[in-house]
Amino acid sequence: MSNVTYRVGIDIGGTFTDLVVVTSTGEMYIFKSPSTPADSSIGLFDCLKKAARFFELEFPDFMAKVDLLVHGTTVATNTMLQYNGAKTGLITTKGFRDALEMRRAHKENIWDLSLASPPPIIPRHLRLGVTERIDYSGNVITPLDEAETRQVVNQLKAENVTAIAVCTLFSFMNPVHEKRIREIILEEYPECYVSISSEILPQIREYERASTTVVNAYVGPVLGRYLAKLQKKLADAGLKREVLVTQSNGGIMSASYGVEHGASTLLSGPSAGAVGGMFFAKQLSMPNLIVMDMGGTSYDVTLIKDGNYSMTTEGEIARYRVALPMIDIHTIGAGGGSLAYLDQGNMLKVGPQSAGAVPGPACYGKGGTKPATTDINVVLGYINPDFYLGGEFAIDKQASYNAVKQEIADPLNIDTIKAAYGIYTVVNNNMADATRVVSVEKGHDPRDFSLVAAGGAGALHACKIAEIVGIPRVIVPKTASVFCAMGMLESDLKHDYVRTMWKPLDNIDFDEVNQAFDAMEAEARATLLAEGLNEDQIQIERGFDLRYMGQHHEVPVTIPAGKIDETMLPEIKKRFNDAHNRLFLYSEPESPLESINIRLTGLGIIPKTSLTSWQTGGKDSSEAIKGSRKAYFGELGGWVDTQIFDGSKLKAGNIIEGPAIIEEVTTTIVVNPYDKATIDRLGNVVIEINALKKS
């Protein structure tokens, strides 16, 4: 094993830190440790040290053999959710400092008349204007007043801001003033973190551009400190490579690049789950999947159609628009740590509040007294208290029961078990509603998809969710509990670039378009080469944001490779009309189109994991039975003696009829009554919903 090297993916969740190690000989190993919110790097190092011990290596020797380390971080996300980012200032064109607060003047919820605006991450007295003006064509109308700019910078410096966002009118057409403002900031205040909109999001729409740039400046210093500290600690431990960080767009980037583009990490962890789903779809030859990831604090769900996830540039975080390309993921507060409670009307609710890792669910014995979803699964007999994390983590079943009784059952004057099953039903319906958002509400028939149950808690609830939504099949991957960490190792380096090109498509200047594409491609290649890739690993994808003349929203369309000229227009129009018909169920091929933006994505292709086949056996799964215990199934009237299977002893071809429970070291799979599970060639558990009823 002396010449074996390791690829490592690390995902820090709300309750557990997940780690996947893939060896250069093709084996995959899973490790988990409790997350440490006070300093998330502690949980990360706990996982790495576990792996080193498993491979019988001293920690520095193990780290020296790591040739790829990809990290999913929630630092930027948590910074926005908790509104505790850097003290930030904004410099903009004089007279336009309120654009950030005016937003789009659209009510986010037309039914909530009392909905207040989100907390201003830059208060008005730190949003300052300077004299300058560039017109819509990029011509300088009023030169930048540099003396006034220096005065404004020093005013912000006196206010002790540590980050400054710069967003001036029409800088996406000509960035000359923004770049000069940055130079002046660094001359007057060199230690300040600076984000300019012409580099973060050089495209039309003032609010989206300002909001994205401000968010980047707000989270950048916090993320930068975290990544710098982590990189140093890992280097001191023996790591010889730069840490790579997952992005919201499904790609990865170097930590040094991430420091300047913190807003790109706002969906860092969940996006890797979608990448894992796309990788999984190819491995299983199942192009249509709904991927659910239920961890400690959240339920993330995304749809894979024809082998690809969908992208959006209309994302929000903490009610601030981030218009960077990101995977279309729907998230709700429903995880193993989500707390059950009674609202003011004594109605039962679950989430979004979470017990997190500290104090955690009541059964963790760390001071938690309120019932979390994990407590419910313990009370109902789904989770084995003696086999949580393979027995490594002690679970107090009585504490779970007491929490449900005191917080829910006694106030409602009902039986404790019925209260627990009620909580289980509520959280399942919450997650089913979220699953409908990415399927039914987007025009997709759930019956055409399989549900991939990922996350440590996902397989406990997946069959119920599938039954409620109408999904016929659930697939529990062998790597379900660390699905996002696995997805990180299947991600490619990825950088997105955009330029506004707002013109009728038939009148577009092909020379101008080709020059813009060439400039973006050169930037993409330079960035990827600086991140250590070779030319033969780089791929370039290009596209247009198009719409019918007069429409409000545009549709992204990929375009063929090569120089753009008149001969390509029919194919580009066809692709747009096909996409428009798919999204909105109609198209108007006779209507003229207009271009809004052109886009380019630079990909640095990373070698993918080759999954190995599972040991083959017959249909008989009895050799894997490890015993039985009572579990609660409402559809059968209550407690049922339920067979318990050892997941490590199951073989490809084995069949299990529900009700049954499959115990893995890092997850538990509940096969509901009338469902039938089969172990496939890769060791995944494939569950047909209500198959026994049908037969």
Amino acid at 689: I
pLDDT at residue 495 in the model: 93
Q: State the Cα–Cα distance between residues 477 and 283, nearest whole angstrom.
A: 11
Radius of gyration from C-alpha coordinates of the chain: 26
Contact at 8 Å (CB) between 70 and 252? yes
Q: In what order do the strands lie in the sheet with 193-196?
A: 127-130, 88-93, 163-167, 193-196
Beta bridge partner(s), residue 476: 685
Provide the whole-model pTM.
0.84
pLDDT at residue 695 in the model: 65
All domains of the chain, ordered by start, with CATH? 6-79+225-265 (3.30.420.40), 83-221 (3.40.1360), 341-427 (no CATH), 493-604 (3.30.1490)
Q: Is 53 helix (H, G, I), strand (E, B) or coil?
A: helix
Distances (CA, A) of 601 to 215, 247, 261, 504, 519: 22, 13, 15, 23, 12
Checking DSSP bridges between strand 16-23 and strand 28-34, what pairing results, if any? antiparallel
- What DSSP character marks residue 14? S
Task: Name which of 300, 289, 579 is nearest 448 in CA terms.
Answer: 289
pLDDT at residue 612 in the model: 72
Q: State the Cα–Cα distance between residues 308 and 275, nearest whole angstrom.
A: 9
- What DSSP character marks residue 652? B
Contact at 8 Å (CB) between 34 and 15? yes
Six-digit token string for 363: 């059964």
pLDDT at residue 15 in the model: 73
Six-digit token string for 290: 């709904």
Checking DSSP bridges between strand 193-196 and strand 163-167, what pairing results, if any? parallel
357-410, pLDDT tens digit by residue?
A: 778 899 988 888 999 999 999 999 999 998 887 777 788 999 999 999 999 999
Distances (CA, A) of 380 to 31, 392, 397, 665: 27, 21, 10, 19
Q: State the Cα–Cα distance between residues 673 and 472, nearest whole angstrom.
A: 14
Q: State the Cα–Cα distance between residues 558 and 542, nearest whole angstrom.
A: 6
Q: Is 139 helix (H, G, I), strand (E, B) or coil?
A: coil
Six-digit token string for 578: 């096909």
Q: How far apart are the first and last CA of the chain?
A: 50
396: exposed, middle or buried (C-beta count within 10 Å: 0-12, 13-18, 19+)? Answer: middle
Q: State the Cα–Cα distance between residues 615 and 617, nearest whole angstrom.
A: 7
Sorted by sequence, the CB contacts under 8 Å of residue 333 that are 6+ apart come out as 297, 298, 299, 351, 352, 353, 354
Six-digit token string for 317: 């975080």
pLDDT at residue 116 in the model: 78
> Backbone dihedral region of 381: left (phi > 0), alpha (psi from -120 to 50 degrees) or beta?
left
The torsion angle over the Cα atoms of residues 669, 672, 673 and 677, rounded to 10 degrees, is: -50
Contact at 8 Å (CB) between 330 and 300? yes
Contact at 8 Å (CB) between 269 and 13? yes
| Sign of the CA dihedral with 90 first, then 92, 97, and 98 last | negative
> Backbone dihedral region of 392: left (phi > 0), alpha (psi from -120 to 50 degrees) or beta?
alpha
Distances (CA, A) of 446 to 19, 199, 305: 31, 40, 11
Contact at 8 Å (CB) between 306 and 287? yes
Contact at 8 Å (CB) between 423 and 376? yes
Contact at 8 Å (CB) between 388 and 456? no
Sorted by sequence, the CB contacts under 8 Å of residue 274 that are 6+ apart come out as 250, 291, 302, 304, 309, 327, 329, 487
> What letters, b where the CB count within 10 A reaches 16 and e where it falls short, cover 121-149?
bbeeebbbbbebbbeeeeeeeeebebeeb
- What DSSP character marks residue 605? P
pLDDT at residue 125 in the model: 95
Q: Within the chain, which residues score under 50 in pLDDT?
A: none
* Cβ neighbours around 158 below 10 Å, total: 8
122-162, pLDDT tens digit by residue?
A: 999 999 999 999 999 999 999 999 999 999 999 999 999 99
pLDDT at residue 72 in the model: 86
Contact at 8 Å (CB) between 455 and 480? yes
Q: State the Cα–Cα distance between residues 190 and 207, nearest whole angstrom.
A: 28
Task: Name which of 251, 192, 253, 244 is nearest 217 in CA terms.
Answer: 192
Contact at 8 Å (CB) between 498 and 598? yes
Q: In what order do the strands lie in the sheet with 555-558?
A: 28-34, 16-23, 6-12, 66-72, 244-246, 252-254, 493-504, 593-604, 538-548, 555-558
